[in-house]
Amino acid sequence: MKGSVIFALFLLCFVTQSFAQLNEEAAIKKAVNNLFEGMKTGDSTLTRAAFANSAIMQTIVEKDGKVVVRTESVNDFVKFIGAPHQEKYDEQIIFTKILVDGALASVWTDYKFYLGQKFSHCGVNSFQLVKRDQGRQIVYLIDTRRKTGCK
């Protein structure tokens, strides 16, 4: 009987922890998805809210056969998203890895980017998010971009 009670308590703790982890992952995915929903709909407010004020945004590109890391302004990016444009900016992502340690979350996504219906490029996004009073926000985003080798 005592063994059954201990097992039941262990199971309860395990299930509670699993639900908490699932809820945390859902909140992290929502924060990332809000960025791409803002991009797709041209909603600069939703896009800006995805980022912390001090966020850093970078991209890795090849130029003249050399790898270059280019830093981009989050504020300029948000203005670009909010400016009138005919085609939708549709970045379709697949969550491949989410790691969480307290307030820190690391997220890895594969993506394909479409300008309207036309394929533009693909790559990988790597996000660092921090949990704050207002929820998870992106503090760092770096991506790769390529036109071939897309899944």
> What's the CA gap between 56 and 75, in Å, rounded?
10
Tell me, what's the pLDDT at 125?
A: 99
> What's the CA gap between 86 and 76, in Å, rounded?
19
Give the pTM.
Answer: 0.83
Distances (CA, A) of 9 to 6, 14, 19, 55, 122: 5, 9, 15, 42, 47
Neighbouring C-beta atoms of residue 30, cutoff 10 Å: 13
DSSP annotation string for 91-135: EEEEEEEEEEETTEEEEEEEEEEEETTEEEEEEEEEEEEEEETTE
Q: Which helix (H) or strand (E) holds 5?
A: helix 2-41
Nearest to 148 by CA among 112, 103, 95, 99: 112
CB of 106 closer than 8 Å to CB of 127: yes
pLDDT in tens, the chain (151 residues): 666 655 545 544 454 444 455 689 999 999 999 999 999 999 999 999 999 999 999 999 988 999 999 999 999 999 999 999 999 999 999 999 999 999 999 999 999 999 999 999 999 999 999 999 989 999 999 999 999 988 7
Nearest to 97 by CA among 87, 88, 89, 109: 109
Tell me, what's the pLDDT at 6?
A: 59
Domains within the chain, CATH numbers bracketed: 2-144 (3.10.450.50)
